[in-house]
C-alpha cells in the first residue's frame, strides 16, 4: 500500500452533497481531474490520487438535539508521494486552498509511518526534561515573569530570584519580551541563571529558564546558539509566528541542546471558530509534538483566557499518548493492525495549561491532567499576599497535598501558612 | 512623540465594558500593570505604556438595522520601544495572547514611520514587474498549470508551452507542487523556460515563471539561489506556511533578484470568521506588501472559492495605495499631518484575484481593479473548447476589447473566434 497522510474536516453546509464534495477534494487537491483521464494514464496516476476514507453526515435535529446545523466530517487520505516530508508541504496540500472554500475546519490529521519517521520529535520530551531537573515523582511547577517590558537587568534578576526561591522548577520569559537595549538575551540569561544559582544554594533545586527566542527567521539558529553559549538551559518560542517548520528544524538541530517550550501566541487566530481554522488538538497538540516541542503551553479551562475543557483534554491526549494509532494512518477499516498498537516513535511533550492558575486549582489540574503536567502560574505566584516566594511555596504545598492524597482544605492550615493565605484569597475549586 | 504601531480589533460581547477592556489591553500587553505603580516609576515607564486611541461601541439595533450583535472597534497604540522591528514581534505583541481572549478579530494594523522604515518592501513592485515584461499599457495575464502532480518534465513543458503560446505574461507553479523526483525544481525551471523561449519566438513576448519555493525554512535562501541559478525569473511562495518574516527576509535578500509572488494557501484558516482571526486586508494586504510580495494572490469574488467583493476591494486598496496615511500612524485626532500626505515608502504590489476566472469576467475585473491587476486563470485557459493556446488568446482579446472600450459581446465575433468560443461557453458577466 502507498503511504497516506489523512486529514479530517468538519464542513458546514445546509444542502451540499457531501459525498460529492469529498470526492472533489480527494481529486482536486491531488491529481486535479480523474474521470476524464485515459485508463492507461489512470493506472500510472493511481498512486497520486487522494482517497475518500469516510463521510459522516450529521443532519440537524429538532429542539433538544445536539446538532443544530447540518455538517459532515469528511476524511481524505493524501498520498505521501505528492508532498515532501515537512509540515508546510503537508499543510499546504491538505488545507492550503481548501481553507478558503466555504465553512470548513481542519479537525484532525494523521500521518503515515513514513512521514512521521522524518521527524525526530521532541529532543527531550517529558522524561528528558525531568532528567534535567532531577524530578521524577511529582508534577512540575513553572512561573512566568510579572512584567518585564521597560525593566532593567537588575529588576529582572530580582523577579527571577523571588520566583526561584519559592521552589519553582521552570521560569519562562514573557513571550512579548524581544531583543531590547535594557535586557538583551545574553545579559538576561547570565543574570537570571546567576539568580537561579543563588536560589539553588537555598532550595537545592535545579531550574530551567526558558528564554524567548526571537528575531529574524534565518537568524534563529544563531540567536539560539548565542543564548545557549551564555548559559540558556531552555528556549521559549512563538511557533505560530514563524511556522511549524522553524520549530521542527530548531528542535532537530544538533546545536540546540536544550528543551524548547512552544508558546501558543496567535493560536486564537486559528482554533476558536466553529466554522473555520484548525482545531486546538491539531494546532497545539499533534503538530507541536511532531515539530519537536518538549513543552507546550495552551490556555487552561480554568482562568479568564479560557479554552473549553474538552479541547484541553484533546491536546493532553495527543501530547501524552504512547500509542501510534492516534497519529499514524494504517489504512481504513478492518481490525487494528500491528502498527496501530505500536509505540509512537515520538517522545511525549509536557502539557502546560496556562492562565488564571492559583494554588486552589491544583487538585483540579492534577485530576484533569494527572502527574505529567506542568502547573504554570503568573498572578498566582506574584499576587500572593505574602510575596512571590510564598507564592511559589503555596503551589508546592498544594502539589504536596495532592501527592499525599490530603484534601487541600486540610493542608491549608497554620502549618502551611503560604497555602493557607493563598486559599484564603483565591479559594479552592475542585 | 514616541513612535507607535496601532492595532484595531473588533470585539463581540453582549455586555462587556469595552472602555475598560480597551484599557486592560493597552496596559496588559505592554507594561503589565499601571494604576498601582509608584509615580516616579510611571514617569520612566510612560514610554512603554500602550494607549487607547479609540473605542467605538456598536449597540444592536432592532429589525432592519445593520448591527445584530453588540460589538466594539477598539484601537490600541503600542509603543515601538516594546518590540523589535519585525513582523513576528509585532504580531505576537498585538495579537499573541489577545487572539485567545474571547471573540476578537484583528481588523487593521498601522505602523509607525520608524517601524515601516525597517522594511524595504517589494523589490520590484508593479512597476518593476512591468519593466521585466516590457508591458506598461494593459493589465497582465497569468495562467496556472492544470494538473502537475504525477506528471513528468515533458508533460509540464508541453503544458507550459501551450499556456505561453497563448500570450500570457506570467505562469505560476501549482502551490502544491513540492520537490519530487519527476520534476525537481532545477529541471522544471530549465524545461519551462526553454518552452517560454520557444513561445517567445512566436509571440515576441517576455514571460515570468513563478516557480514554487518550498522545503525547509532555513534552506529557503539556498533553494531560491538554486532555482535562480537554473534560470528562474520569479518565485511563488506559500507565505503563511512559513510566516511573514521568511517572506520579508527573502524579499530583501540581495541574491533574490526576481519578483516574489505570495500565495494565500492557509489564509482561510485566518480571515473568514466574523469573530476570530485576522482580516484579509491585513493578512493578504498590508502584511504581504510590508513583507515584500511583488504580487499577491487572493480568492476573487467571482468564482467558486470566493471572498466577498468588499474584502477584495480592501486588499486592492492597501496593495495599490501610494499614500502613507493608510499605513502609517502619526498620532490620533487633529488635522492630517505632513506624514499623512506623504508617499508611502513601499512599492505597490500587484493584486491577483484568483479562482473561477474566465474571459467573460474581464470587464468586471477591470472595473473593480483598474489596469493595475493581473487577470489569473486556470480552467479558463485549459478548459477552452479550442485548447489552451486559444484559452490564453481569448483572455488577451477580452483585455484588448476592454482597453479599446468595446463591449465584450461586440468583440466576441467571428473576427475573434477564441473569445467568441469562450463567451459562448462561459458567458459574460458585467
Q: Which residues of B touch A148 (CB under 8 A)?
A: 32
On whether residue A145 sits in a domain, the answer given is: yes
On whether residue A333 sits in a domain, the answer given is: no
Question: The domain that contains B108 carries what CATH number?
Answer: 3.30.70.150
Q: Do both B285 and B389 map to the same domain?
A: yes
Please report the number of interchain residue pairs, chain A to chain B, with beta-carbon separation below 8 angstroms: 235
Q: Which residues of B touch A101 (CB under 8 A)?
A: 268, 304-305
On whether residue B335 sits in a domain, the answer given is: no
Q: What pLDDT, in 10s, does the model give residues A60-74?
A: 887 666 678 999 999
Total domains, chain B: 2
| A187 catalytic residue (yes or no) | no
Q: Do both A134 and A107 map to the same domain?
A: no
Determine, for residues B268 and A106 on separate chains, whether the beta-carbon distance falls below 8 Å.
no
- pLDDT exceeds cutoff 80 at B124: yes
Q: Which of B83, B101, B243 faces A178 most closely, judged by CB atoms?
A: B83
What pLDDT is attached to residue A163?
97
Q: Do both A85 and A171 map to the same domain?
A: no
Q: Do both A40 and A84 map to the same domain?
A: yes
Q: What pLDDT, in 10s, does the model give residues A365-423?
A: 999 999 999 999 999 999 999 999 999 999 999 999 999 999 999 999 999 999 999 99
Determine, for residues B175 and A97 on separate chains, whether the beta-carbon distance falls below 8 Å.
yes
Task: Choose from B2, B41, B99, B109 for mutation: most chain A CBs within 10 A.
Answer: B99
Burial of B145 (0-12, 13-18, 19+ CB in 10 A): buried
Split at pLDDT 50, 70, 90, the class of B330 is: confident
What pLDDT is attached to residue B341?
64
What pLDDT is attached to residue B152?
95
Q: What is d(CA B375, CA B367) in angstroms, rounded to the nearest whole number?
A: 12
Q: Which residues of A touch B215 (CB under 8 A)?
A: 84, 86, 89
Q: Do both A264 and A404 map to the same domain?
A: yes
State the average pLDDT over residues B203-212: 97
ipTM of the complex: 0.96
State the average pLDDT over residues A187-195: 97
What pLDDT is attached to residue B1?
64
Across B265-349, the runs of DSSP E, i.e. the strands, are 277-278, 295-299
What pLDDT is attached to residue A223?
98
Q: Do both A184 and A88 map to the same domain?
A: no
Q: Do both B49 and B162 map to the same domain?
A: no
Which residue range(s) make up the domain with A234? Answer: 125-323+344-426
State the average pLDDT over residues A204-217: 98
Q: What pLDDT, in 10s, does the model give residues B368-397?
A: 999 999 999 999 999 999 999 999 999 999
Determine, for residues B97 and A175 on separate chains, whether the beta-carbon distance falls below 8 Å.
yes
Question: Residue A170: helix, strand or coil by DSSP?
Answer: strand
Determine, for residues A267 and B89 on separate chains, whether the beta-carbon distance falls below 8 Å.
no
State the average pLDDT over residues A194-216: 97
On whether residue B331 sits in a domain, the answer given is: no
Split at pLDDT 50, 70, 90, the class of B315 is: very high
Q: Which residues of B touch A47 (CB under 8 A)?
A: 150
What pLDDT is attached to residue A1?
63
What pLDDT is attached to residue A104?
98
Q: Which residues of A touch B78 (CB under 8 A)?
A: none
Determine, for residues A305 and B100 on separate chains, whether the beta-carbon distance falls below 8 Å.
yes
Q: Do both A138 and A29 map to the same domain?
A: no
What pLDDT is attached to residue A337?
58
Q: Do both A111 and A139 map to the same domain?
A: no
Residue where one domain finishes, among candidates A70, A88, A116: A116
Determine, for residues A278 and B267 on separate chains, whether the beta-carbon distance falls below 8 Å.
no
Whole-number percent of chain A with pLDDT over 90: 89
On whether residue A336 sits in a domain, the answer given is: no
Closest CA to B18 of B96, B79, B70, B77: B70
A145 to chain B, closest Cα gap in Å = 10
Q: What pLDDT, in 10s, does the model give residues A322-361?
A: 989 899 998 754 445 555 567 899 999 999 999 999 999 9
Whole-number percent of chain B with pLDDT over 70: 96
Q: Which of A86, A263, A269 faces B270 most closely, judged by CB atoms?
A: A269
State the average pLDDT over residues B286-294: 98
On whether residue A334 sits in a domain, the answer given is: no
Q: What is d(CA B277, CA B294) in angstroms, rounded to the nearest whole number?
A: 24
B194 to chain A, closest Cα gap in Å = 25
Residue where one domain finishes, among candidates A94, A116, A138: A116
Instruction: Name the residue with cell 500491528.
Output: A338
Which set of grid coordinates corresponds to residue B169? 505574461
What pLDDT is attached to residue B16?
95
On whether residue B336 sits in a domain, the answer given is: no
Question: The domain that contains B263 carries what CATH number?
Answer: 3.20.20.110
Q: Do both A73 and A189 map to the same domain?
A: no
On whether residue A197 sits in a domain, the answer given is: yes
- pLDDT exceeds cutoff 80 at B62: no
Q: Which residues of A touch B276 (CB under 8 A)?
A: 268-269, 272-273, 276-277
Task: Choose from A269, A276, A297 for mutation: most chain B CBs within 10 A.
Answer: A269
Residue where one domain finishes, among candidates B116, B140, B174: B116
What pLDDT is attached to residue A72?
98
Closest CA to A75 of A121, A147, A23, A122: A23
Q: What pLDDT, in 10s, does the model give residues B173-191?
A: 999 999 999 999 999 999 9
Determine, for residues A214 and B84 on separate chains, whether the beta-carbon distance falls below 8 Å.
yes
Residue of A nearest to B107 (CA): A269
B148 to chain A, closest Cα gap in Å = 7
- pLDDT exceeds cutoff 90 at B241: yes
Residue of B nearest to A283 (CA): B269
What pLDDT is attached to residue A19?
98
Closest CA to B12 of B67, B66, B65: B67
What pLDDT is attached to residue B100?
96
State the average pLDDT over residues B32-61: 92
The residue with greater pLDDT, B309 or A2, is: B309
Q: Looking at residue B344, what DSSP letter applies?
A: P
Closest CA to A85 of A218, A318, A244, A219: A244
- Across the strands, what pairs with A6? A77, A110
* Average pLDDT over chain B, rounded to an integer: 94
Q: Do both B71 and B202 map to the same domain?
A: no
Q: Which residues of B touch A48 (CB under 8 A)?
A: 149-150
Q: What is d(CA B126, CA B114) in angstroms, rounded to the nearest whole number?
A: 24
Q: Do both A34 and A171 map to the same domain?
A: no
Tell me the catalytic residues of B: 97
Amino acid at each position: 500500500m502507498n503511504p497516506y497522510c489523512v486529514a479530517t474536516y468538519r464542513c458546514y453546509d445546509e444542502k451540499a452533497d457531501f459525498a460529492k464534495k469529498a470526492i472533489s477534494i480527494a481529486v482536486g487537491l491531488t491529481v486535479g481531474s480523474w474521470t476524464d483521464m485515459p485508463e492507461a494514464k489512470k493506472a500510472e496516476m493511481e498512486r497520486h490520487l487522494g482517497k475518500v476514507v469516510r463521510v459522516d453526515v450529521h443532519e440537524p435535529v429538532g429542539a433538544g438535539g445536539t446538532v443544530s446545523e447540518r455538517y459532515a466530517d469528511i476524511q481524505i487520505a493524501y498520498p505521501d508521494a505528492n508532498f515532501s516530508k515537512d509540515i508546510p508541504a503537508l499543510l499546504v496540500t491538505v488545507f492550503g486552498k481548501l481553507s478558503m472554500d466555504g465553512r470548513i475546519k481542519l479537525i484532525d490529521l494523521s500521518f503515515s509511518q513514513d512521514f512521521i519517521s522524518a521527524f525526530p520529535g521532541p529532543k527531550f520530551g517529558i522524561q528528558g526534561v525531568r532528567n534535567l531537573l532531577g524530578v521524577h515523582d511529582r508534577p512540575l511547577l513553572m512561573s512566568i515573569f510579572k512584567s518585564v517590558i521597560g525593566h532593567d537587568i537588575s529588576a529582572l534578576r530580582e523577579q527571577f530570584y523571588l520566583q526561584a526561591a519559592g521552589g519553582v522548577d521552570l521560569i519562562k520569559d514573557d513571550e512579548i519580551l524581544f531583543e531590547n537595549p535594557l535586557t538583551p538575551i545574553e545579559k538576561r540569561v547570565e543574570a537570571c541563571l546567576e539568580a537561579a544559582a543563588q536560589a539553588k544554594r537555598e532550595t537545592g533545586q535545579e531550574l530551567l529558564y526558558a528564554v524567548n527566542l526571537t528575531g529574524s527567521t534565518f537568524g534563529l539558529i544563531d540567536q539560539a546558539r548565542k543564548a545557549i553559549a551564555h548559559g540558556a538551559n531552555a528556549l521559549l518560542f512563538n511557533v505560530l509566528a514563524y511556522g511549524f517548520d522553524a520549530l521542527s528544524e530548531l528542535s532537530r538541530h544538533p546545536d540546540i541542546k536544550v528543551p524548547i517550550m512552544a508558546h501558543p501566541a496567535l493560536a486564537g487566530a486559528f482554533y476558536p471558530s466553529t466554522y473555520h481554522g484548525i482545531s486546538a488538538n491539531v494546532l497545539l497538540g499533534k503538530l507541536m509534538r511532531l515539530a519537536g516541542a518538549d513543552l507546550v503551553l495552551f490556555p487552561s479551562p480554568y482562568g479568564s483566557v479560557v479554552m473549553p475543557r474538552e479541547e484541553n483534554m484533546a491536546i493532553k491526549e495527543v501530547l501524552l499518548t504512547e500509542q501510534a494509532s492516534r497519529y499514524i494512518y494504517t489504512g481504513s477499516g478492518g481490525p487494528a493492525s500491528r502498527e496501530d498498537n505500536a509505540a509512537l516513535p515520538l517522545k511525549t511533550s509536557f502539557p502546560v495549561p496556562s492562565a488564571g492558575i492559583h494554588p486552589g486549582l491544583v487538585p483540579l489540574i492534577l485530576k484533569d491532567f494527572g502527574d505529567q503536567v506542568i502547573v504554570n502560574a503568573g498572578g498566582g505566584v506574584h499576587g500572593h499576599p505574602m510575596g512571590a516566594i510564598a507564592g511559589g511555596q503555596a503551589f508546592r504545598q498544594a502539589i504536596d497535598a495532592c501527592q499525599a492524597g490530603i484534601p487541600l482544605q486540610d493542608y491549608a492550615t497554620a502549618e502551611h501558612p503560604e497555602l493557607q493565605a493563598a486559599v484564603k484569597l483565591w479559594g479552592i475549586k475542585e
